[in-house]
Structure formats: structure tokens, C-alpha cells
Structure 1
Amino acid sequence: MKSWLIRLLAASCVLLAGCATTIRSDVTAFHEWPSTLPDKSYVFERTKDQNNNLKYLNYENLVRAELQRLGFTEAPAATRPALKAALSYSVNGRDVREVYPVVVRPYPYWGGFRGYYGPHPFYGPYGPYGPFYDPFWYGPAVVEHRVSQYQLFHRELKVTLSRMSDGKKLHETTVVSEGTNPSLAAVMPYMVRSAFAEFPGPNGVPRRIELKMER
């Protein structure tokens, strides 16, 4: 009964942890952002391949929403904007092998034990609490080494805002996130939000942004 309860509690902890997945991103922004910027119009600058890439266009929409939240406006096709925005991303997986120690509970020590139920028909020789409360009931702890193998994915997003007139970069943010989720589409919304957290942010100072994944 006792070992069954321990396994049940452990399984419950795993389920609860899975319901509260946190996306942790390391964000670094380099910028020469002006103190005032009267014209915050922009246009996306795409490569030839990006123009016909549905995945890219979906991620572009995420960046567009963040820029709109910050007061930027996408310029109509017939006008010349003040800024141009560009983004790129990548994901790479690698195999990870970890060896870690585990303390294994030993089997009960049976030497000299007269049986749980006698001499008393209910309590046994250990009294009303039973042998589980006896420090000598179990033998010494045993440490075993377990091996865990899994894939870890390195995800990277870069967003750049440049001046349209001369191409000078005003803001460049790099977001790096690692995790076991292979789906970049599932993680990208949180990476984009991290890229624009506290915009324009401290210059050249790495930050850790943590966002809870919505279910």
C-alpha cells in the first residue's frame, strides 16, 4: 500500500508539471534607439524564399501584432515607410544522454523478524505502528545510476528594425530557447513576445524571459 501511494503521488506531480510548461528564452537586444521617433511606419523586408513561405508569413503575423501593440504602423504599399523590419529563425535538434544517481529503497531486513502479526494478532511485535516506523526495518540505502536519453532542440529567432533611408540598424534582438518540444510553431508565439518584452530593452544585456505556455 505504501509503495503504491508513493507511485501515485509521483505520477500526479508529473501530470501537474506538464500542465504548467514554461518557455524560457534568453533575449539579447543591441540597439541605438532614438529618444523620439515621430514616424513609426514600417514595412517587412523579405527574401525571395520568404515571400512564398507560409510558415514564415505566419511568424511574420506574430511580429506584426507585437509591433502594433507598441504603436508601430505598417505602411501602405504606395507610401515610403520610415523603418523596415526583418526576421529569421532556425531550429536544430541534438541527442542528449544524461547519467544521474538514484537512491533506491532497499528491501526490508528480515533478520530475526518474527512476523508482522504475532505475538499480537493485530499489532505484531512492533506495537500499533508496525515495522515501517522502525529505523532498522530497511537495510542501508543503495545508489544506482540511471541513464536518460532524449532530444534537445535549440531554437533561435532574430528580429531587426532598420532605418529605411540608409539601412542603418536601430534595433536587433536575438532570442534563444531550448527545450524538448520539437514544434517550432508551438513555441514561436512565446519567443516573439519575449523578443519585444520591455522594448527597446537594455542595450547588450542578456535577459531571461519566462512565459507560461497556454493550453
Structure 2
Amino acid sequence: MKRALFALLLVATLSGCATSWVVDSDVKSFSSIDTVPAGATYRFERLPSQQANGERQASLEAMAAAALEQVGLRRDDANPRYTAQISARVTTTLSPWADPWLWDGPFGYGYGYGPYGYGRRWYGGGWYGAPIVPQASNPWYEREVGVVLRELGSNRVVYETRARNDGPYTASAAVLPVMFQAALQGFPKPPEGVRRVNIELPTAKKQQ
């Protein structure tokens, strides 16, 4: 039933907007600056763990660079005013719309609810409290990006921001750049607290 409801909701959403879709991010930012000089410069800074995975980090930095440029920050490795530390993660979990009442048949393993919670059960053999394993057919992607700006002269953190998004689409290559844009919305004086930032993308980018 949950799957059917989710499918109907998804179809209704896409039919109302056939050429675009919305990436919704929950953003929280902290700032200690009111203004940024015109043409302010920065260079990227990497943690040791990020240096060990240089190709992936370079890809994330390219995504973040576009968002930083939109808010007036220009990359200049030779003469930077700030350093920018970039982070991102993508975690795959079981979809919250997945139906736990899934049985293989009257004489086989399946999923259900018993005295100890959800788990595997053998019909006629009693309850086995093994945990549910997320099914490959029902993935859910939890994403988070972060940007930390430091002033080089004082090594003081002047801006910190994070954006979170979750959903069923595999299109991280399209979603992460938009999340960096959302994370920097309002720079350098963002609203206080957690806020929802919605940015539209062409529907075709879902499968990237």
C-alpha cells in the first residue's frame, strides 16, 4: 500500500511539472561576517582523508566552485583571502516507503512483525529475530554537503554551512551541485536556524 501511494504521489508531481523537478534541501548556516569584499578570493583546503581520495575531492570542489562563484567568491590559489573546506556524503538506506509486510510464500522466509519487532520469519518454524536487510529494489539516498570558510590571516572560521537532502533518485551528480548552491544561499548573512531551500532542475537530470 505504501509503495502504491508513493508511486501515485510521484506520478502526480511529475505530471504537474513534466520538464523540471525540485531539489529540496534543509540548510543551516553560521556566519561571523556581515559583508565580503568585492572579488574576494579563496583556495581549497583538504583534510588528510580528502587528500587520500584526490579525484573524488576534486570533483566535489568543482561543484562547490560554481556555487561559490555565484555568491561572489573567486578561486585564486596564488593570492587567496579565504580557504574553503568542502565535504559531501551520500548514504544508501531502505526507503521509508518500502513495505515491511513482504512474504515469499506460505512455506518460506519473509518479513513481518513479531514479539521482538520486524525481522525474518519461517512459517511453521517460529520467530527468528534477524534484522531487516534493505532491499535493492527500494533504495533511499541521504545526502549532505558542507562548506567551511576560514580567513587566512587569522585562521578564523567566518562561515559554516550544511545542506541535507534525501530521496529515491540516484542522480547525485546532478543533486550535489544544487545542494552546494542551496548551502550558500543567503551568503554572507543567511537566515538563522534551519530553512528549506528549493531549486528546480530539468527532469532529465534525475538519471545522471
Q: Is the 8 A contact 2:94 2:139 kept in 1?
A: yes
- Secondary structure of residue in 1 paired with 2:95: strand
User: What TM-score, normalized to structure 2?
Assistant: 0.64
- Residues 208/82 of structure 1: CA separation in 2 closer, same or farther (3 Å cut): same
> How far does residue 200 in structure 1 lie from its aligned partner after superposition?
2.2
What's the C-alpha RMSD, in Å, of the aligned pairs?
Answer: 3.2
Structure 2 unaligned spans of 5+: 1-8, 100-136
User: Could you say which residue in structure 1 is the equivalent of 2:88?
Assistant: 89
> How far does residue 36 in structure 1 lie from its aligned partner after superposition?
5.3
User: Could you say which residue in structure 1 is the equivalent of 2:154?
Assistant: 166
Structure 1 unaligned spans of 5+: 1-9, 101-148
CA deviations over 1:158-205 (Å, ceiling 9, x no partner) = 101111122211100010001111332121121011112222243532
State the 4+ residue runs in structure 1 displaced beyond 3 angstroms: 10-15, 17-20, 34-39, 48-52, 96-100
Q: Is the 8 A contact 1:41 1:75 kept in 2?
A: yes
CA deviations over 1:11-62 (Å, ceiling 9, x no partner) = 9757626834221100110110144546722111013453453232122112
Q: How does 1:99-118 map to 2 (within 5 A)?
A: none
* Identity percentage of aligned residues: 24
User: What TM-score, normalized to structure 1?
Assistant: 0.62
1:207 and 2:195 aligned: yes
User: Could you say which residue in structure 1 is the equivalent of 2:63?
Assistant: 62
Q: How does 1:31-180 map to 2 (within 5 A)?
A: 31-35=31-35, 37=37, 40-51=40-51, 53-77=54-78, 79=79, 81-96=80-95, 98=97, 150-180=138-168
Q: Which letter does structure 2 place at the counterpart of 1:85?
A: A
Whichever of the two has the greater Rg, that structure is 1
User: Could you say which residue in structure 2 is the equivalent of 1:140?
Assistant: none
User: Could you say which residue in structure 2 is the equivalent of 1:198?
Assistant: 186
